[in-house]
Amino acid sequence: MTLRIGAHVEQTDPIAEATARDVPLVQFFLGNPQSYKGPVLAYEGGAAGLRADAEAAGVDLYVHAPYLINVATTNNRQRIPSRKLLQQHVDAAAEIGAKGLIVHGGHVTDDDDPAKGFDNWRKAVEATDLKLPLLIENTAGGTNAMTRYLDRIAGVWEAISSTEQFDRVGFCLDTCHAHAGGNPMETIVDDVLAITGRIDLVHCNDSRDAFDSGADRHANLGAGQLDPDLLASVVREAGAPVVLETPGPADAHVADIAWLRERGV
């Protein structure tokens, strides 16, 4: 099976970015990923235009939610705006026909019981009108993170499994985050599938930093500290569409795609 591979691109004209890389899918932000101000669509043709142009070009769209979203936290000043921002991005992503909205797992404070974060995830899923798949992504660092370690991912999944919209929640596996987060890459796909039953998207990134470093710094494929054969095997085993979040312009992504294809992905 030849997997569909794309890249995270600049948001002004995702279709042009896909064309420049000759890829069937792209991921991008809607607005500023470090802002609570809400989604902004930069595409000149608006939401309807982007949806129509993507369909005509045969390009699947994925939206990455802002980094600030943390629906797990016990801090009301963060959690309440996070839920609002999540719904806004669900709505905006659905309007452009996106295949999924990727969101980080968030964290609770060092003094908190992780169970509070799990339950806040349950409440967030119950409170959000999921008009498209919500793909929760594993993260690299942070103390008391919700999706760095496998046992925490299991806690989130157990909590949200009771919600009516559970079938609309999927998983995005980031290879750099898994490595830097200290998870055994040899078994990461089987480990995640045993917990979630699904991997909907792979963020394929090499890591500039060592195993269990907690550092979220992506590298181009083969240029980081992940074993090349192991990285390729994780992507193959996951069997899901792939988004490169590696550095550089289009030609760097083209080179990374070639790197994967040479290794049977």
The segments of the chain whose pLDDT lies below 70 read none
Residues 6+ apart with CB under 8 A from 6: 18, 21, 23, 24, 25, 26, 27, 60, 62, 241, 242, 243, 244
The encoded tokens of residue 158 equal: 């157990």
Number of H helices, E strands in the chain: 9, 10
Residues 66/33, Cβ–Cβ less than 8 Å: yes
d(CA 258, CA 255): 5
Asked if 231 and 201 count as a contact pair (C-beta separation under 8 A), the reply is no
Per-residue confidence (pLDDT) for residue 142, from 0 to 100:
83
- What pLDDT does residue 89 have? 98
User: Residue 151, SS3?
Assistant: helix
**Residue 95, phi then psi, degrees to nearest 5:** -65, -30
Q: How many CA atoms lie within 13 A of 209 on its CB side?
A: 16
Q: Using alpha carbons only, what angle is made at residue 33 by residues 221 and 208, rounded to the nearest 5 degrees?
A: 25
Q: What is the pLDDT of residue 143?
A: 79
Amino acid making up residue 160? I
Contacts of 197 (CB under 8 A, 6+ apart): none
Q: For 174-192, how does the pLDDT look when each residue is reduced to its tens digit (9 = 90+)?
A: 999 999 999 999 999 999 9
138-150 per-position pLDDT tens digit: 999 987 999 999 9
Cβ atoms of 48 and 85 within 8 Å: the answer is no
User: Which domains, from first to last, does the chain contain?
Assistant: 5-262 (3.20.20.150)
CA 70 from centroid of its chain's CA atoms: 14
The per-residue pLDDT for 156 is 98
pLDDT tens by residue, 54-100: 999 999 999 999 999 999 999 999 999 999 999 999 999 999 999 99
Q: Rounded to whole angstroms, what are the CA distances from 92 to 31, 83, 121, 164, 243?
A: 11, 14, 21, 22, 20
